[in-house]
Structure 1
Amino acid sequence: MNVKVKGVYRNDYLNIISVLVKKLDLPHLIDHPVPVDPQCQTRVSDAVQAILYNLFDGRQALVHLERWAQEIDLEKLIRPGLHPSWLNDDALARHLDRLYEADIHKVISTCLIHIYHKEGLSLRAFHADTTDKTVYRAYESASLEALQITHGYNRHQHWQKQIGFGLVGNEDGIPFYGDVHDGNLSDKTWNPEVLSRVHEQLKQAHLDDEWIYVADSAAMTKDTLAQTKAANAFLIT
Structure 2
Amino acid sequence: MNVQVKKVYRNYYLNITSALFKKLGLPQLIDHLVPVDPQCQTRVSDAVQAIIYNMFDGRQALVHVERWAQEIDLEKLIRPGLHPSWLNDDALARHLDRLYEAGIHNVISTCLIHIYRKEGLSLRAFHADTTDKTVYGAYESVSSEALRITHGYNRHHRWQKQIGFGLIGNEDGIPFYGDVHDGNLPDKTWNPEVLSHVHEQLKQAKMEDEWIYVADSAAMTKDTLAQTKA
- Amino acid corresponding to residue 203 of structure 2 in structure 1: K
Please name the residue that 2:57 is paired with.
57
Please name the residue that 1:202 is paired with.
202
SS in 1 for 2:229: helix
- Amino acid corresponding to residue 94 of structure 1 in structure 2: R
Please name the residue that 1:33 is paired with.
33
Q: Does residue 69 of structure 2 align to residue 69 of structure 1?
A: yes
Q: Distance in 2 between matches of 1:137 and 1:111?
A: 34
How far the C-alpha of 1:2 sits from its partner, in A, is: 3.5
Q: Report if aligned partners of 1:141, 1:147 keep a CA contact under 8 Å in 2.
A: yes
- Amino acid corresponding to residue 102 of structure 1 in structure 2: A
How far the C-alpha of 1:42 sits from its partner, in A, is: 0.3
Please name the residue that 1:160 is paired with.
160
| CA RMSD, 1 decimal | 0.9
SS in 2 for 1:102: helix
Q: Distance in 2 between matches of 1:2 and 1:141?
A: 61
Please name the residue that 2:94 is paired with.
94
**Stretches of 4+ aligned residues off by more than 2 angstroms:** 1-6
Q: Distance in 1 between matches of 2:141 and 2:49?
A: 27
SS in 2 for 1:129: strand
Q: Report if aligned partners of 1:167, 1:179 keep a CA contact under 8 Å in 2.
A: yes
Number of paired residues?
230
SS in 2 for 1:168: strand
Q: Distance in 2 between matches of 1:158 and 1:228?
A: 31
Please name the residue that 2:151 is paired with.
151
Equivalent residue runs for 1:184-203 within 5 Å:
184-203=184-203
How far the C-alpha of 1:4 sits from its partner, in A, is: 3.4
How far the C-alpha of 1:211 sits from its partner, in A, is: 1.2
How far the C-alpha of 1:148 sits from its partner, in A, is: 0.8
TM value normalised by structure 2? 0.98
Query: Taking every aligned residue pair, what percent have the same amino acid on both sides?
Result: 88
Please name the residue that 1:233 is paired with.
none
Equivalent residue runs for 1:5-44 within 5 Å:
5-44=5-44
Q: Distance in 1 between matches of 2:63 and 2:89?
A: 5
How far the C-alpha of 1:187 sits from its partner, in A, is: 0.5
Please name the residue that 2:215 is paired with.
215
Please name the residue that 2:46 is paired with.
46
Q: Distance in 1 between matches of 2:165 and 2:6?
A: 43
TM value normalised by structure 1? 0.95
How far the C-alpha of 1:117 sits from its partner, in A, is: 1.3
The farther-off stretch of 32-41 and 88-97 is 32-41
SS in 2 for 1:30: helix
SS in 2 for 1:176: strand
Uncovered stretches (5+) of structure 1, i.e. residues with no partner: 231-237
Q: Distance in 2 between matches of 1:51 and 1:44?
A: 11
- Amino acid corresponding to residue 103 of structure 1 in structure 2: G
Q: Report if aligned partners of 1:152, 1:160 keep a CA contact under 8 Å in 2.
A: yes
Q: Distance in 2 between matches of 1:79 and 1:6?
A: 19
SS in 1 for 2:209: coil
- After superposition, what is the alpha-carbon deviation per residue over 1:84-120, rounded to whole angstroms, capped at 9, x for unaligned? 0010111111101100110111111111111111111
SS in 2 for 1:32: helix
How far the C-alpha of 1:35 sits from its partner, in A, is: 2.7
Please name the residue that 1:80 is paired with.
80
Q: Distance in 2 between matches of 1:18 and 1:122?
A: 23
How far the C-alpha of 1:36 sits from its partner, in A, is: 1.2
Please name the residue that 1:129 is paired with.
129
Q: Report if aligned partners of 1:29, 1:107 keep a CA contact under 8 Å in 2.
A: no
SS in 1 for 2:33: coil
- Amino acid corresponding to residue 191 of structure 1 in structure 2: N
